[in-house]
Structure 1
Amino acid sequence: MFTGLVRTVGWIRRQPQGVRIEADDRLGPLQLGDSVAVDGLCLTVARVLPDGFTADVSEETLSRSTLAAKAAGGGAVNLEPALRLSDRLGGHLVSGHVDATGEVIDVRSLARSWRLEIAWNAPGYGRYICEKGSIAVDGVSLTVAGAGHGGQSFWVAVIPHTWESTTLRQLTSGAAVNLEVDLLARYAERLLQARISDEADHNLNRDWLLEHGWG
């Protein structure tokens, strides 16, 4: 589990058995089997190196993310070590399981922030987007400032510290990014679906509602 607060920016390269991540000391000491979020993807340390680590990557991870394209040519990535139970939760709960990729529609510099507008590349995730809700973009915890029709596109405001400390400053129109919706929104939806299904199984009517305290 992660918070979406990037610890440092590293460099990724593709290897025959996975990827190699180069990172500085700000990532912290690593051990075999540790989890690290790489552009929002939870990867397991397969080998600790003096300047980073290597990790294996599954076909599922490659198909749902920008990792394959970025690693093939070598590129900068946001890095965050796994959350400790004693750590402060400064961002939001991020699982490191990317839902889909998105495309940057617009990057705009404002007086005290930057405005990023992003569209989903996969349908169906707009229902998780709401104003002032949370979303992870390339592993960075951001607050949704607004959403387009149906939530298929949304925009976020990026403060100067986040802009300078992450790879978001490198984004331009047309760039692909990894997106993960708010974990709490996903569970809330699942619980509601189960409740509705349960009520349907009980032949929902006025008598049933009164019996269960809805009257």
Structure 2
Amino acid sequence: MFTGIIQALGTVKPLEGDSWQITCVTQPYNVIMQDLATGDSIAVDGICLTVEKILKDGFIATASPETLRRTTLGQEETQQRYVNLEASLKVGGKVGGHFVMGHVDGMGQLVSAQATLSSWEMIFTAPDAIARYIVPKGSIAINGISLTVADYQPELSQFKVAVIPLTYTETNLQYISPGGWVNLEGDILGKYVEKYLSVGNQDVKQTTQTIPNDITPAFLVEHGYL
């Protein structure tokens, strides 16, 4: 589990098979490397990867074919730009953003990025798999960054976020051009609510179907109710 607060920038390099080398480039990068151990989880552009081998300034991890298909890690342009890095949340640690699982739901594209007096206003597209979890003032993870939805236009399948200068300059949002792809993860709370409502509605329908339309005294006697 992560919080969407980026701790460092890195680069990714494909190795043989499904292995990837992730190198920290932010100095100092002790926040990522100081307690890193084999088997730890690291969010790489919002993708939860498991550390298999520790290097001097990074680590090696494996990305499954499903991960490559669903995320930007499988795109060549990602291998030529910086990625956001965040170590997993420790018990007792600060939750500065929101609960981010590192399970990317799909990809969106940057539509535009405009600087204002106090922030960067960025508009992204969102496929249906993510759009149903987007609500104004709700949380969303973009390349692993915890951000708040400022506006949502369902007819265009687009949403807007306001990014403060600190977040913009310390993450890879500054390197993404219009048309560039990003990883999106919807708020886990929305997913559980959706599941609960879906199962709840099914239970109600099933219960309703087992109740006769007309319960009469004769019906009760027939079924043992005296």
Structure-2 residue corresponding to 1:171: 176
**Which among 160, 164, 170 is matched to residue 159 of structure 1?**
164
Check 1:207–1:91 CA distance in 2 against 1; reply closer, same or farther (3 A cut). Answer: farther
Say if 1:205 and 1:144 are closer, same or farther in 2 by CA, change over 3 A.
farther
| Structure 2 partner of 1:65 | 71
The Cα offsets for residues 145-202 of structure 1, whole Å up to 9 and x where unpaired, read as: 0001257210100001101110011121101000000010001000011111111011
- RMSD of aligned alpha carbons: 2.0
- What is the deviation of 1:73? 3.7
| Aligned 8 A contact 1:131 1:145 in 2 | yes
Residue number in structure 1 paired with 2:21: 20
Residues 48, 203 of structure 1: alpha-carbon distance in 2 compared, 3 angstrom cutoff: same
List alignment gaps of at least 5 residues for structure 1.
209-215
CA distance in 2, matches of 1:118, 1:72: 17
Residue 131 of structure 2 is aligned to residue 131 of structure 1? no
Contact kept, 8 Å, 1:127 with 1:151, in 2: the verdict is no
The offset of 1:206, in angstroms, is 11
List 4+ stretches of structure 1 deviating above 2 A. 70-75, 122-125, 204-208
Superposition TM-score, scaled by structure 1 size: 0.91
Deviation at 1:104, TM superposition (A): 0.5
Match of 2:42 among 36, 39, 44: 36
Q: Residues 81, 71 of structure 1: CA spacing in aligned structure 2 closer, same or farther, 3 A cutoff?
A: farther
| Matches of 1:124 and 1:74, distance apart in 2 | 27
Q: Is the 8 A contact 1:129 1:151 kept in 2?
A: no
Q: Aligned letter for 1:38?
A: V
Say yes or no: does 1:48 pair with 2:54: yes
CA distance in 2, matches of 1:159, 1:88: 20
The 8 Å contact of residues 103 and 119 in structure 1, kept in 2 or not, is answered as yes
Number of residue pairs matched by the alignment: 207
Structure 2 counterpart of 1:57, one-letter code: A
Of 17-26 and 43-52, more deviation after overlay is shown by: 17-26
Q: Which residue of 2 aligns with 1:211?
A: none
Query: Where in structure 2 are there 5+ consecutive unaligned residues?
Result: 214-226
TM-score (norm: length of structure 2):
0.86
| CA–CA separation in structure 2 for the residues paired with 1:71 and 1:33 | 28
Name 2:92's counterpart in structure 1: 86
